[in-house]
Amino acid sequence: MQLQEILYSQGFGTRRVCAGLIQQGFVQVYGDVAGDAPVLCKDASAEFAPVGLRFRVQGVDWPYVEKAYLLLNKPAGTECSQKPSAYPSIYTLLPSPLRLRPQKAAVQGVQAVGRLDQDTTGMLLLTDDGKFIHRMSSPRHHVPKVYEVTVKHPLDARQVDQLLAGVVLDDDPKPVRAAACEAVSEFHLRLTLTEGKYHQVKRMVAAVSNRVEGLHRSRIGGLALPADLAPGQWRWLSVADLALVSGV
């Protein structure tokens, strides 16, 4: 594949922009031997095998990925929307190539797998793989998501039992149950859900006569939010990570 096509597929701009980056000397390509320094390439039509390719654009190293899978530690005061209404968008936390990856759909770049409220923090997945988004979002696949909930009033065994047995939300006569529920401390509830409804955690807690004061997602599937990933930071998901989050 031509180098300009590789850069285009990774979201570095139009084909013309990608060719310009190469011709102006902003692109270096790594060889097959680990530890070798990247080599400057100014030929936009130079051919490379994209799988496994690593390159440097304007001083930043990038791996070639056919589909992008990311983990973001969402900070408070951000919206999971391309067009936020009141708070900054989570997408501004990502470098432009990830926001501009070309897609056949109308929306470019990686998309959040589900949404977290603007005041909710923690683990958020993003990808440009539509099948992965569907699989992770579908209630049929029962992907567990763990939330650390700070509540206003002291917890008791009755509230935990109610959440496990099921509570009725105002828009659905069918009870919604927690897959797991634990009172970690007097004001700290750990709640595991396998489906996602609008403001579900807040509404479930309200249904047992309490109130959410703080909400943080700490785990999806078998993958926990890394302790060294600060709020606002992101990283690539490895093959092993993907197996943990999706259970495959």
Q: Is 170 a catalytic residue?
A: no
Q: Catalytic residue, from 32, 43, 61, 117: name it.
A: 117
Question: Phi and psi dihedrals of 96, rounded to 5?
Answer: -60, -35
- The answer to whether residues 39 and 28 touch, using CB atoms and an 8 Å cutoff, is yes
Q: Name the token pair of 100.
A: 């501009």
Whole-angstrom Cα distance, residue 146 to residue 194?
A: 9
Whole-angstrom Cα distance, residue 245 to residue 144?
A: 9
Whole-angstrom Cα distance, residue 63 to residue 58?
A: 14
Maximum alpha-carbon separation in the chain: 69
**Burial grade of 135 (CB within 10 A; 0-12, 13-18, 19 or more):** middle
Question: Phi and psi dihedrals of 123, rounded to 5?
Answer: -75, 125
User: Could you give the residue numbers annotated as active site?
Assistant: 117
